[in-house]
Chain A
């Protein structure tokens, strides 16, 4: 038995998969790839695979991770090769490595997330950056999400927010936002906030959101989650298939 960390991405139409649908797609892909995953006991055995925080439906990502307890001792490259061959178009595996047995779960260690958000608006780049500045200079922000409300500390939540003009009324926001227990916030919520707080400016329509990276801390230098998990060598040597 070995723990395998897989770095994968999700884009195109498949960004509309729900978390449960994604899980099933991966379970079946492991089967097709011939990589045996340990199963939980009980009446309804489930493959032992744990995932990072659920990606909202409609968001694409090149920074998703899962940890699978596998029976195989195939080499990392082989695993990537085998899984890539059988994944549906729109899911892709970038990296894989074996990690130590006892480690904290993906969801519990993520402290901040980088997003790339494409928006469409009639507002100019200058207007947008001054709006963003106002928001970032507020002390606290009231965040409303799915009927719930919470206060977050603005500076702790929004770690970075760059704006790039993309032409044709389109802009790209590069955002670094807190995740996890304290002050976490999601990009679509902040954009809603811009729209609600400044009704006199032009509406900002989200065209697409992509999760770009996930880190285990919030300060420079940021530590990528993949690097945070130390790799181990399994057995004496991995098998080449």
Chain B
């Protein structure tokens, strides 16, 4: 039943009503007759943030390509809409048919980062569903979660029935088929979960029990007799065998990304030791240039987009990047189509690429040296020297760029004052390079923005054992930088260290952290990724109220022999490799990129029966 009449009545009372309407181009409005499966895909943030999410767009198109499946979308209503929905008792609905989420068979969330977890709870509640999985029954939709957050699903286990770990392009059909069959057989919830646990990559938390030691660490994680002892991440072995999604939804409102974006490859093998994405999407699998170009051509036809973006973790590393950009710029010459590369390396090659595509518009350039000293860059395996940085920015200034953004992290393991001073000095040298290169009015327009984010160690990385800095340490370091990064051409930006500390505690949390998330939501936390909405005091109270210490999860160094709460989730990368990488870091040894420098034995290829695929 459509809730549109009720929704429409309140739309005049809210900001940006376009968030709640439908009929965007390429959205699918259909019904199934007979035995079908109804799926609601949920992004736990507001529409303009959630809509561009590539993973959900892929699933949406795949699911709707089947006649027996209807997939619709839902997003977190903004605060004003939530208030009127609660006042008027309007349950959370999907956009396409404005149907209540309770009418669906599957409700699937994507867990993109820790600071949207409370929104998941809030959306379940707005839908009129019990927030706790244990309180839901046969009449409720199956609540599923996917996305990078699933590599440590533990903190969300109280709320989610089924986690899918890894890439879902193939898994999703196995799951839908199973659900369809079980629905026909009127299977009860427990039976459904037991059956789904047989699908590789599926994690059913209720089939695993966790025991703790007296010191609060995990003693063991035990699987039920018929459940696998560990869950192995699913991947699509040959990414180029998967067609480029052709009909992305074109939003009416201004979304955070509103352009034709094509994934040119999956995975990144550069091996930065702080980076979770660099581990959990391995190995590198490319698409062919032909596939990328024809995919883009199709998308432009179905969307009318005016901007093209080649997306991946590190697009300048895509082996056909030059040829692809060249072909695209020739093809769309004179048609007011712009090209962009979302991720750049600090080198002349990358700069050459942007130079080609930014023929007229020279907006800012962003580079990520990540750390201020060579020692620290070696420690994190960021293969960039000060000379690289200075050469590249000088070239950029010569080409006419005047705004440079430098991206650093503070709170990396072993950091000392010297490393902070390194950030200051490198930034100043970039300013000097700008002043030396630019002339006249351009010189006065020179701006170097330094962004210093507070590092949060993540599961499945070589730094998963280290202690995160405390809030006080972060704030002292920010103060240090603020006092020194001053001057006419310099500006310093940082993310709230308070949210990094909360993020850090959840990221490496165990099941009990779910209690704190529940409590935080109960205390009113939502939209935690929105600086204005983030409420640190409530989070502190939430941990305290549930008898947990945030610092136990964020600020504690773990022993290599500790059972990590996510140890039953296998990304394919061996724990031994992560340990070895940590040792290499402490010895200042670099590890090469396995695409060019030989295999570094991370384990992914043999464990997942896959390989790097480069064309």
Contact = CB atoms under 8 A, between A and B. Distances in A.
Contact of B24 (A16, A29, A47, A88): A88
A28 B248 CA distance: 14
A86 B304 CA distance: 9
A25 B18 CA distance: 13
Interface in A9-51: 12-14, 16-18, 20-21, 24-25, 27-32, 36, 39, 43-45, 47
Contacts of A18: 18, 253
Contact of B304 (A29, A57, A89, A90): A29
A43 B22 CA distance: 33
Interface string A152-188: 0000000000000000000000000000000000000
A203 to B, nearest CB: 15
Contact of B23 (A21, A27, A45, A89): A89
A36 B304 CA distance: 11
Interface string A47-75: 10000000001100000000000000000
Counting chain B CB atoms within 10 Å of each CB, the highest count among A13, A25, A43, A58 belongs to A13
A88 B253 CA distance: 14
Nearest to B24: A88
B360 A43 contact: yes
A58 B303 contact: no
A174 to B, nearest CB: 22
Interface residues of A, number: 28
Interface in B421-445: none
A88 B27 CA distance: 9
Contact of A13 (B21, B253, B301, B306): B21
Interface in B15-57: 17-18, 21-25, 29
Contacts of B22: 13
Given A43-B361, A58-B12, A31 B304 contact: yes
Counting chain B CB atoms within 10 Å of each CB, the highest count among A12, A28, A43 belongs to A28
Given A27-B306, A32-B302, A16 B11 contact: yes
A32 B25 CA distance: 11
B300 interface: yes
A28 B17 contact: no
B336 interface: yes
Nearest to A33: B304
B212 interface: no
B336 A12 contact: no
Contacts of A14: 21, 23, 252
Contacts of A47: 336
Nearest to A21: B252
Interface string B334-359: 01100000000000000000000000
A21 B18 contact: yes
A90 B29 CA distance: 13
B361 A58 contact: no
B305 interface: yes
Contact of A45 (B254, B301, B336): B336
Interface residues of B, number: 27
Contact of A39 (B11, B300, B336): B336
Contacts of A43: 360-361
Counting chain A CB atoms within 10 Å of each CB, the highest count among B21, B254, B304, B360 belongs to B304
A18 B360 CA distance: 30
Nearest to B27: A88
Nearest to A87: B25
A24 B253 CA distance: 9
A16 B23 contact: no
Contacts of B360: 43
Contacts of B302: 32
Nearest to B4: A13
Contacts of B23: 12-14, 88-90
Contact of A32 (B18, B252, B303): B303
Nearest to B361: A43
A39 B250 CA distance: 22
Contacts of B300: 31
A20 B16 CA distance: 12
B252 A24 contact: yes
B129 to A, nearest CB: 25
A222 to B, nearest CB: 30
B361 A16 contact: no
Counting chain A CB atoms within 10 Å of each CB, the highest count among B306, B336, B361 belongs to B336
Nearest to A46: B336
A7 B501 CA distance: 56
Contacts of B254: 20-21
A28 B303 contact: yes
B301 A25 contact: no
B12 A44 contact: no
A93 to B, nearest CB: 15
B17 A16 contact: yes
A28 B253 CA distance: 13
Interface in B278-302: 300-302
A29 to B, nearest CB: 6
B25 A28 contact: yes
Interface of A: 12-14, 16-18, 20-21, 24-25, 27-32, 36, 39, 43-45, 47, 57-58, 86, 88-90
12 contacts: A12-B23, A13-B8, A13-B21, A14-B23, A17-B18, A17-B252, A21-B18, A21-B253, A28-B304, A30-B304, A88-B24, A88-B252
List 4 tightest A-B contacts by C-beta distance, closest first.
A28-B304, A13-B21, A31-B304, A32-B304
Interface of B: 4, 8, 11-12, 17-18, 21-25, 29, 250, 252-254, 300-306, 335-336, 360-361
Given A29-B304, A44-B361, A88-B25, 17 more contacts: A13-B23, A14-B21, A14-B23, A20-B254, A21-B18, A21-B252, A21-B253, A28-B250, A28-B303, A28-B304, A31-B305, A32-B303, A39-B336, A58-B11, A86-B304, A88-B24, A90-B23
